[in-house]
Amino acid sequence: MSKVALVTGASRGIGRAIALRLAADGYSVGVNYASSAAKAEEVVAEIVAAGGSAVAIRADVADADEVNAMFATISEELGSVTVLVNNAGITDDGLLLRMNADQWDRVIATNLRSVYLCTKAALRGMIRAKGGRIISVSSVSGISGNPGQANYAASKAGVIGFTKSTAKEVGSRGITVNAVAPGFIATDMTDALGEEVTEAATHQISLGRLGSPEEVASVVGYLASDEASYITGQTIVVDGGLAL
């Protein structure tokens, strides 16, 4: 079976690290992005320079037509997707009483609807191949909640429930479905929170530091490997002890 991975939201941060890790593990990688074309092409160039194979693909993963077109492109250029990593995600924070419906809908669409659409598209090929890996990036916010993030926490909790249900549906087809729940990881998203917020968060983390995107990517790499063939329906928390 060919080794083809699709990573959504792969132009930077955790998605970028996952794409590079899977490429290093021998996968041809579809690098999905929504708006950061230059950044996505940089990821592709880095993979190719290391001797790998990759293609950048723009698609709004909350749009069904664009998702289907993306999978058709990947199938044509790289082959059928054997590992799907649902990583694309956004935040649009605010206290619930001040949160408007657009804030709610946009976060749910990008973070949860996308997981449904991409997983459904990937399963068609995986069922024919009688195997595959689906790995979705959730968050500790989806487990413990977070003030000002009702929309984000709900979307990430939804990813966990979706993961468990889908794992039960497709396990008999040789397909595993798991989630990874990062805590505070040093990315552009956390940089935007400011030094004061980051420092306060660090004090709550047992290991006393933020995590790196590569530390999340290593867990995704494991779940995609043959070594994780008997793990499904699980959510692995990668948070340095934040949620303890």
Report, as residue numbers or ranges, the catalytic residues.
152
Contact 28, 54 (CB under 8 A): yes
How far apart CA 96 and CA 106 sit, in angstroms, is 15
- 33 three-state secondary structure: strand
Q: Is 219 exposed, middle or buried (0-12, 13-18, 19+ CB in 10 A)?
A: buried
Residue that is written with structure tokens 């989806």 in the block: 142
Instruction: Residue 177: name the closest of 114, 238, 235, 108 by CA.
Output: 235
The continuous run of DSSP H or E covering 121 comes out as: helix 114-129
Distance of alpha carbon 175 from alpha carbon 74, whole angstroms? 20
